[in-house]
Amino acid sequence: MEIITDCVSPHVREVREGHMQLVWREPVKAQERARVVAWSCHCRSTVYELCCVGGQAYIRRTEYDDGGGERACETYRWAYKKAVEVWSALLRGQAV
Ligand SMILES: [Zn+2]
């Protein structure tokens, strides 16, 4: 039987033992516009986005609640290459 879903983006896996703990901060009020280059599936109440700005990158986490509210926080900025490493660790459940 074929399972059909609307999901095209990756889901963040259950967090694993020995994962790295990321620092989640209040979003920086930035004038510059970040470009979202990757994102996790929007079917979950928590959505992660890999954002690029000025040669650096960071991960933004947005939690949506049932009342239509949302709460965003983000990591520190890293060099793009480092951010991609953290991003893939996050998707594999190796960072939270
Ligand atoms: Zn999904």
9 alpha carbon – ligand 1 mean position (Å): 7
Is position 26 within any domain?
A: no
Asked if residue 69 has pLDDT above 80, the reply is yes
Is position 24 within any domain?
A: no
pLDDT of 6 reads 82
31 alpha carbon – ligand 1 mean position (Å): 31
71: domain range? 35-91
Is position 84 within any domain?
A: yes
89 alpha carbon – ligand 1 mean position (Å): 18
Q: How many domains, in total, are found in the chain?
A: 1
Asked if residue 94 has pLDDT above 70, the reply is yes
Is position 46 within any domain?
A: yes
User: Do residues 28 and 74 make contact, with C-beta atoms less than 8 angstroms apart?
Assistant: yes
How is 26-83 classified by DSSP, letter by letter? PPP--SSPPEEEEE--TTSSEEEEEEEETTEEEEEEEEE-TTS-EEEEE---EEHHHH
pLDDT one-digit tens code per residue, 27-54: 887 667 899 999 999 999 999 999 999 8
Is position 29 within any domain?
A: no
